[in-house]
A and B are shown apart, each in its own frame.
Chain A
């Protein structure tokens, strides 16, 4: 429970930070620092439990269906990493109180730093893979947001850092999913307790690769390292906290965490050691080239993280103990150095060692603290950094991937460490050595220096007293590598190979420092690939590639979009031609008279393609529709034929309404007539071939037979098609009526033109004819609706007949119907209520939805349902007439 309290407290600090800064200004950081220390104490109170090799657990269900829970667990490893995050966090918060101005303190820095601390502690406490991933991503986002507070100059580096770490986050997500697949659980402790399931699964290699990728990106390992120096555009507290002490350690944490699964696997060790040492060497060389103090520290962080990755790759208990110890030591001395560099930057206005000189005279305490922290970094006794580096050497020497791995790793580590010594000296000498050039400077306020000084002093004291840390490291190492016997940690363990290596380091480092001008000249001649530039080029290329992929979709031409599905149809036809085998024989009835209809249809279709005038096109499409109706009639589809015929008539009326103000000539058909004609013919051939091959080759379907045999008995209707519509498939029909209703509503919303169009037609015949016909058509409609259940007719057909009456009247008199009941809204509403109501009614007596029943003799539920459909379709027609029949307002005014 206290784990939850700890996380909630950190979250509460993040949420309350804006209020604190409003009340206290920049001093809000002291409250946050106290809060961090309080949480640290809360967790540290569990140290006895952890030292007893037990864990503190808490969990609650999160996504039970996936087995994902909000599980937290405090063990040795979590304790080390969470205390580092909280203690360094408290120091940095206290430092912020003097680093930030009141104005910038009111910005998002404090809340984001607190949120980051919460996420970081959550990350190391998480005992669920999904939870771990979520916290991992929150740290990434906090980092991006904090870098972005540096303003416009942070845009490029911020994006670089974000993209690289997000790629790693996605790799982690893949690893999480694969781990869950391999072990059947998302519980981290259960996964780690079951290395066999992971290693024996086919996913072992992808999991290890994804975990390594996630860690390498987060911890700035080669070849992803260049985002970290770029992220130095962020303000110094952010660099000290996120990009030196904690966030970049998330990758280290992940590797340590996954060690029970992969430690000792040859590929894992080889990759981690190679990448880690390459990074260590590269970072150290680049650090020694820099003139900017902060850039030096950033490269140094890259280098130190490389050593950590390499030693984790070794995977022995000594190596992991060394990694844990060095994580602490590095967090201490690197955060200290960053804070001190920030002080120098603030006091002098520069971080360039070519401009700084002799600050030891004017800022002696700052100089002393820097020197102490730098000595720890350089691995000089008796600092904590010395002890941890000794164990790093010891760990690397124990590398046994190949017989020569240990010595080679040791030699590379000594080289990197000698370079570390040299750039440590370069930092101290560059800023504080030499003649005084700015005598007007003075020591920073004690409160500004205090956090860094405290950390520096702890670094000194912790060296000789390192055996106090031994139980914690011991316990954490056992957690990271179950069953191992970790070495005891001593500040001094006699004359050992490691001591010789440290001595060599210091000696070579001194020589490098002594010959610093020559070394500098030599290093400046080195050329390294420009990481950020490479990233930008790749990023831009990717965006350009995306642009090219998306380019066809940006075409304003409809044809460009429509051609692709048609081409896909042709491709489908080719595939079908190659893969569809012999088909059954046709069981067609003969085609009496229908060939003639189809021939006429062909002529009409050809005509539509050649038409140049609007009237001709509309008329020919209508004629084609009539021939299709005729074909349907001859094929036995009476209801469909009638419906299509009515739809054709109604479409023609609507077209006249829409087009009467438009030019009579169609636009020229476009420049690519031949290719489109070829494509159209190809699509037509595919469609014809598919129809010929895949239809008309079987007997009546089982469903069809059922409906024909049983419809009357089950529904009381003899028009089988209508019984299917209103009884058997009533729900489909209802939903289709809804589609019709939606189209009606859409038309009403589109209908910006609401001014009536009162131009009486000159056609007396039409006008008089309509007046005479309309009542008859409405009667016809009612009759068709009534008989629909037994004879051709029904809701759709009768509504179309009524609709034609309405539309013709509009066309003839030019008036939009204004009767209150003849409005789309009421028609739609009543229709929907009737259809849905009669469908739901059977539920009241316990029958299924849309069960047919009789209200009174001669009034079946089917008729009521059909009446609802009738109303909704009529609503569509009325909406069409209203929306399209009126003339646009501006034209009205012009006329």
Chain B
């Protein structure tokens, strides 16, 4: 059940952030949503308490397939996040109209 609560918390937080003003909040909101999906996919594999190593970790071994899925997903999420940050940075170099308003005529 912890998985469900964790997913709910992360999705709610991520959704709230992506709906707010400011690109940084949006990017980090997507990071939280990405975490939520990691937890969700792992939960889909079942929750047995053991590691996905045969005869290891004490409990019943966990399902290795979702773990392999999300492992690559985590790396891709990282790639997407840094790309979004690159966009954020590239965007900040061209003053947006809103910035102009704030700055006034220069």
The interface of chain A, by Cβ under 8 A from chain B, is 558-559, 562-563, 566, 586-592, 594-595, 597-598, 601-602, 605-606, 608-609, 614, 617-618, 621, 624-625, 628, 631-632, 635-640, 643-644, 647, 650-651, 654-655, 658-659, 662, 666-670, 672-673, 676-677, 679-681, 683-689, 691-692, 694-696, 698-701, 703-704, 707-709, 711-712, 718-721, 724-725, 729, 732-733, 736, 739-740, 743-744, 746-747, 750-753, 796, 800, 873, 876, 880, 883-884, 888, 890
Q: Residues 50-87 of chain B: 1 if any A CB is under 8 Å from the residue's CB, otherwise 0?
A: 11111001011111110110111011111111110111
Given contacts A588-B47, A639-B71, contact A644 B40 (CB under 8 A): no
Q: Judge whether B1 and A591 touch: CB under 8 Å.
A: yes
Measured between beta carbons, the chain B residues less than 8 angstroms from A686 are 11
Nearest chain B CB to A198's CB is how many angstroms away? Answer: 52
Q: Judge whether A644 and B86 touch: CB under 8 Å.
A: no
Measured between beta carbons, the chain B residues less than 8 angstroms from A883 are 86, 89
Q: Judge whether B10 and A628 touch: CB under 8 Å.
A: yes
Measured between beta carbons, the chain B residues less than 8 angstroms from A696 are 1, 3, 43, 46-47
Given contacts A605-B10, A890-B93, contact A566 B63 (CB under 8 A): no
Q: Judge whether B17 and A608 touch: CB under 8 Å.
A: yes
- In the bound assembly, the distance between CA atoms of A618 and B81 in angstroms comes to 13
Measured between beta carbons, the chain B residues less than 8 angstroms from A650 are 78
Nearest chain B CB to A748's CB is how many angstroms away? Answer: 9
Q: Judge whether A695 and B3 touch: CB under 8 Å.
A: yes
Q: Judge whether A718 and B49 touch: CB under 8 Å.
A: no
Given contacts A562-B18, A651-B81, A704-B64, contact A601 B72 (CB under 8 A): no
Nearest A residue to B12 via CB reads A684
Nearest B residue to A706 via CB reads B65
Main secondary structure of the interface of B (DSSP, over half): helix
Q: Judge whether B75 and A647 touch: CB under 8 Å.
A: yes
Q: Judge whether A720 and B52 touch: CB under 8 Å.
A: yes
Main secondary structure of the interface of A (DSSP, over half): helix
Q: Judge whether B8 and A687 touch: CB under 8 Å.
A: yes
Q: Judge whether A683 and B11 touch: CB under 8 Å.
A: yes
Q: Which of A563, A683, A729 contacts B12 (CB 8 A)?
A: A683
Nearest B residue to A631 via CB reads B6
Q: Judge whether A635 and B42 touch: CB under 8 Å.
A: yes
Q: Judge whether A687 and B11 touch: CB under 8 Å.
A: yes
Nearest chain B CB to A404's CB is how many angstroms away? Answer: 70
Given contacts A625-B31, A679-B15, contact A640 B82 (CB under 8 A): no
The interface of chain B, by Cβ under 8 A from chain A, is 1-13, 15-26, 28, 31-32, 35-36, 38-40, 42-54, 57, 59-65, 67-68, 70-72, 74-83, 85-90, 92-93
Nearest chain B CB to A865's CB is how many angstroms away? Answer: 13
Measured between beta carbons, the chain A residues less than 8 angstroms from B64 are 704, 707-708, 711, 720-721, 724
Tally inter-chain residue pairs, CB-CB below 8 A.
Answer: 308
Q: Judge whether A691 and B21 touch: CB under 8 Å.
A: no
- In the bound assembly, the distance between CA atoms of A605 and B17 in angstroms comes to 10
Nearest chain A CB to B3's CB is how many angstroms away? Answer: 6
27 contacts between A and B (CB under 8 A): A558-B23, A606-B13, A609-B16, A624-B35, A636-B50, A638-B53, A639-B71, A651-B78, A651-B82, A654-B85, A679-B15, A687-B40, A691-B8, A700-B61, A708-B61, A718-B53, A718-B54, A721-B71, A732-B72, A740-B75, A740-B76, A750-B89, A753-B93, A876-B79, A880-B85, A880-B86, A884-B85
Nearest B residue to A876 via CB reads B79
- In the bound assembly, the distance between CA atoms of A640 and B54 in angstroms comes to 17
Not counting A721-B52, A796-B75, a sample of 4 additional A-B residue pairs whose C-beta atoms are within 8 angstroms of each other reads A605-B32, A643-B75, A676-B16, A720-B52
Q: Which of A588, A636, A709 contacts B57 (CB 8 A)?
A: A636
Q: Judge whether A637 and B62 touch: CB under 8 Å.
A: yes
> Which one of B10, B11, B19, B86 has the greatest number of beta carbons of chain A within 10 Å?
B19
Q: Judge whether B36 and A687 touch: CB under 8 Å.
A: yes
Q: Judge whether A707 and B49 touch: CB under 8 Å.
A: no
Measured between beta carbons, the chain A residues less than 8 angstroms from B83 are 743, 746-747, 750
Q: Judge whether B31 and A651 touch: CB under 8 Å.
A: yes
> Which one of A640, A685, A698, A739 has the greatest number of beta carbons of chain B within 10 Å?
A640
Measured between beta carbons, the chain A residues less than 8 angstroms from B25 are 617, 666, 669
Nearest A residue to B10 via CB reads A605
Nearest A residue to B68 via CB reads A724
Q: Judge whether B75 and A638 touch: CB under 8 Å.
A: no
- In the bound assembly, the distance between CA atoms of A67 and B104 in angstroms comes to 67
- In the bound assembly, the distance between CA atoms of A735 and B27 in angstroms comes to 24
Q: Judge whether A590 and B88 touch: CB under 8 Å.
A: no
- In the bound assembly, the distance between CA atoms of A254 and B27 in angstroms comes to 59
Measured between beta carbons, the chain A residues less than 8 angstroms from B49 are 589-590, 592, 635-636
Measured between beta carbons, the chain B residues less than 8 angstroms from A733 are 72
- In the bound assembly, the distance between CA atoms of A631 and B47 in angstroms comes to 11
Q: Judge whether B32 and A621 touch: CB under 8 Å.
A: yes
Q: Judge whether A659 and B67 touch: CB under 8 Å.
A: no
- In the bound assembly, the distance between CA atoms of A770 and B64 in angstroms comes to 35
Measured between beta carbons, the chain A residues less than 8 angstroms from B13 are 605-606, 608-609, 624, 680, 684
